[in-house]
């Protein structure tokens, strides 16, 4: 069993990679920073480190070719990479920051999906899990406009995969978490303190949702899964 996880250097991506490895999966770790990926890979058996800026289509193409060359096939793709910026309200959001969010949160997921869909179609199976956000269901000022726009787009990509690819044995799950205690929180205009973080979901909670989505029988699809702190 083989999986590709983007944003695998920290947060939900790292937790998902660890959870998969514990279940015996061979995992390709994808992200911008090699040192973070290698730190995660050090504790995993059979992990493949593939540094890649997923917002760059050419880099994603090379990443996909390398992973398929090493693994032969990919059973699961987890699009976990995501980013936000401090100046996120419409009144202050800058074009460069907007494009950076769209490149990582939406375009990168699209590029990665396209990198592995042909091989999944050829073998007649595959699962794609997109880590979205509850801001991809209802926009809010906490997440900001650009982030919400990118996550609504990612929800649309998830729906499009299921509409077009289920005939080829491919399924997609969109996971919509509430607040998660991850490094992205430092980009909030006012980062939460330790007490607030302790009340949030943890990356391992989202990794458990990923395992649920991919371990169902092929005949079943969790199309959307919303998870929030109690």
Token pair 């880099």 in the structure block, residue: 59
How far apart (Å, rounded) are the C-alpha atoms in residues 179 and 174?
16
Q: What is the pTM of this model?
A: 0.95
pLDDT-derived band at 196 (thresholds 50, 70, 90) equals confident
Q: What is the dihedral of CA 152, 155, 156, 157, to 10 degrees?
A: 120
For residue range 41-70, list pLDDT tens digits in order: 999 988 999 999 999 999 999 999 999 999
Question: Which residue is catalytic, options 98, 110, 111, 147?
Answer: 147
% of residues, the chain, pLDDT over 90: 90
Q: Residue 104 — φ and ψ, nearest 5°?
A: -80, -50
CATH of domain 2-227: 3.40.50.720
Asked if residue 191 has pLDDT above 90, the reply is no
Map residue 211 onto helix, strand or coil: helix
For residue range 105-148, list pLDDT tens digits in order: 999 999 999 999 999 999 999 999 999 999 999 999 999 999 99
Helices and strands of the chain, counted as H and E runs: 8, 7
The answer to whether 98 is a known catalytic residue is no
pLDDT of the residue at 192: 82
Domain ranges of the chain: 2-227
How far apart (Å, rounded) are the C-alpha atoms in residues 133 and 139?
10
**Average pLDDT over every residue of 25-41:** 97
Asked if residue 181 has pLDDT above 90, the reply is no
């Amino acid at each position: 069993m083989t999986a590709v996880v983007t944003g695998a250097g920290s947060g939900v991506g790292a937790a998902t990679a660890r959870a998969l490895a514990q279940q015996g999966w061979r995992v390709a770790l994808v992200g911008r920073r090699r040192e973070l990926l290698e730190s995660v890979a050090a504790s995993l058996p059979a992990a493949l480190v593939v540094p890649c800026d997923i917002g760059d289509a050419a880099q994603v193409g090379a990443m996909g070719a390398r992973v398929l060359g090493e693994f032969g096939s990919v059973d699961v793709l987890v699009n976990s990479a995501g980013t936000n910026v401090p100046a996120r309200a419409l009144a202050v959001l800058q074009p460069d920051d907007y494009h950076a969010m769209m490149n990582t949160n939406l375009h990168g997921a699209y590029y990665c999906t396209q990198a592995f869909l042909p091989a999944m179609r050829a073998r007649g199976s595959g699962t794609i899990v997109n880590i979205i956000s509850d801001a991809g269901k209802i926009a809010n000022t906490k997440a900001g406009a650009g982030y919400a726009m990118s996550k609504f787009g990612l929800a649309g990509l998830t729906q499009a995969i299921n509409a077009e690819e289920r005939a080829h044995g491919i399924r997609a799950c969109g996971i919509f978490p509430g607040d998660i205690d991850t490094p992205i929180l430092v980009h909030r205009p006012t980062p939460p303190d330790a007490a607030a973080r302790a009340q949030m979901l943890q990356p391992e909670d989202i990794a458990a949702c990923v395992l649920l989505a991919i371990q169902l029988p092929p005949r079943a699809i969790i199309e959307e899964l919303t998870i929030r702190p109690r």
